[in-house]
């Protein structure tokens, strides 16, 4: 594969053209606390299977992306053990009996260094792949993601992860305002709520792609495979 190749994939609202050397795969918050039984997501009453259906699609994409030698960046939502970066408004939101920082079945909920905060084993980062720890929903809020992308000369993002209407959407909207072009892969992003999944993707691609583009991961995998063969 020529690392400087321009490739085009079928997407909505129209085809997404990207340059491999200027594009990173951004995998958002594929953490045990959100995806595994017993984690924070399930404690809140959510069906984690709604998110788990994204795991195999992400695995296939990640394998091809890594084989092509392209950049992968992960994010994790979570807080310092002393919770000094956790706003009270977030801690008490929802009036739940268990909240961020409390002890759950996988350690303290959404606290850095705890088992539940970690990326699921199926998609575990390789040494050298950047991990952005974020305390907010957008991966740009109070992080060095923008600086890292600029230093890597990344201008386009293939976005996957959870949840579609929360951290994925917040990040895509923020990225868009900063001038990054985002392609969101519909089978690699997940919501606990099927109707939110549809609505969030519709909002991204509406009005000529007001926040970005949406496609199935097969489209990206196929162009990477084709490019490898040439
Ligand atoms: C949520 C996230 N849903 N990663 N976090 O609280 O979307």
> Exposure of 201 by Cβ count < 10 A (0-12 exposed, 13-18 middle, 19+ buried)?
buried
Q: 94: alpha, beta or left, given left = phi > 0 and alpha = psi -120 to 50?
A: left
29 included as an active-site residue = yes
* Catalytic residue of the set 71, 90, 134, 205: 134
Q: Judge whether 32 lies within some domain.
A: yes
Render pLDDT for 191-229 as a digit per residue (tens, 0 to 9): 999 999 999 999 999 999 999 999 999 999 999 987 666
| Residue that is written with structure tokens 């991990």 in the block | 131
Q: Judge whether 149 lies within some domain.
A: yes
Give the CATH number for residue 169.
Answer: 3.40.50.850
Residues 6+ apart with CB under 8 A from 221: 60, 61, 64
- Ligand 1 binding pocket includes 77 (Cβ within 6 Å): yes
pLDDT at position 102 is: 96
- Ligand 1 binding pocket includes 166 (Cβ within 6 Å): yes
pLDDT at position 176 is: 98
166, 80 in Cβ contact below 8 A? no
pLDDT at position 5 is: 86
∠ CA 17-23-24, rounded to 5°: 135
The three-state secondary structure class of 44 is coil
List the pLDDT tens digit at each of the 230 positions of the chain.
566 689 999 999 999 999 999 999 999 999 999 999 999 999 999 999 999 999 999 999 999 999 999 999 999 999 999 999 999 999 999 998 999 999 999 999 999 999 999 999 999 999 999 999 999 999 999 999 999 999 999 999 999 999 999 999 999 999 999 999 999 999 999 999 999 999 999 999 999 999 999 999 999 999 998 766 66
pLDDT at position 225 is: 87
* Catalytic residue of the set 23, 167, 182, 188: 167
155 included as an active-site residue = no
Q: Which atom of ligand 1 is nearest to the CA of 167?
A: 7
pLDDT at position 204 is: 98
Q: What is the pTM of this model?
A: 0.97
CA 191 / ligand 1 centre spacing (Å): 9
Q: Which atom of ligand 1 is nearest to the CA of 29?
A: 4
The three-state secondary structure class of 127 is coil
Q: Judge whether 90 lies within some domain.
A: no
Q: Judge whether 12 lies within some domain.
A: no
pLDDT at position 229 is: 66
Question: What is the number of domains present in the chain?
Answer: 1
Alpha carbon distance 2, 230 (integer Å): 9
Q: Judge whether 126 lies within some domain.
A: yes
Q: Which atom of ligand 1 is nearest to the CA of 77?
A: 4
Tokens describing residue 161: 């992860």
- Ligand 1 binding pocket includes 167 (Cβ within 6 Å): yes
- Cα within 13 Å of Cα(59), Cβ side: 10
Q: Among positive and negative, which fits the CA dihedral 35, 38, 41, 45?
A: positive
Which domain does 48 fall in, by range? 26-78+122-229
């Amino acid at each position: 594969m020529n690392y400087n190749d321009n490739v085009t994939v079928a997407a909505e609202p129209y085809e997404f053209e990207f340059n491999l050397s200027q594009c990173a795969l951004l995998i958002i918050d594929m953490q045990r606390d959100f995806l595994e039984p017993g984690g924070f997501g399930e404690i809140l009453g959510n069906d984690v299977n709604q998110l788990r259906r994204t795991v195999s699609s992400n695995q296939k994409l990640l394998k091809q992306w890594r084989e092509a030698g392209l950049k992968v960046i992960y994010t994790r939502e979570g807080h310092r053990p002393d919770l000094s970066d956790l706003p009270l408004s977030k801690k008490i939101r929802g009036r739940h009996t268990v909240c961020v920082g409390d002890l759950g079945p996988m350690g303290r909920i959404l606290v850095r260094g705890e088992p539940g905060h970690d990326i699921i084993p199926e998609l575990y980062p390789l040494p050298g792949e950047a991990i952005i720890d974020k305390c907010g929903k957008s991966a740009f809020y109070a992080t060095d993601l923008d600086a890292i992308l600029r230093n890597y000369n990344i201008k386009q993002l293939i976005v996957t992860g959870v949840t579609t209407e929360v951290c994925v959407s917040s990040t895509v909207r923020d990225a868009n305002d900063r001038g990054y072009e985002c392609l969101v892969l519909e089978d690699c992003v997940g919501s606990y709520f099927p109707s939110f999944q549809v609505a969030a993707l519709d909002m991204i691609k509406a009005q000529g792609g007001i926040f970005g583009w949406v496609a199935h991961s097969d489209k990206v995998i196929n162009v990477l495979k084709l490019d490898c063969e040439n």
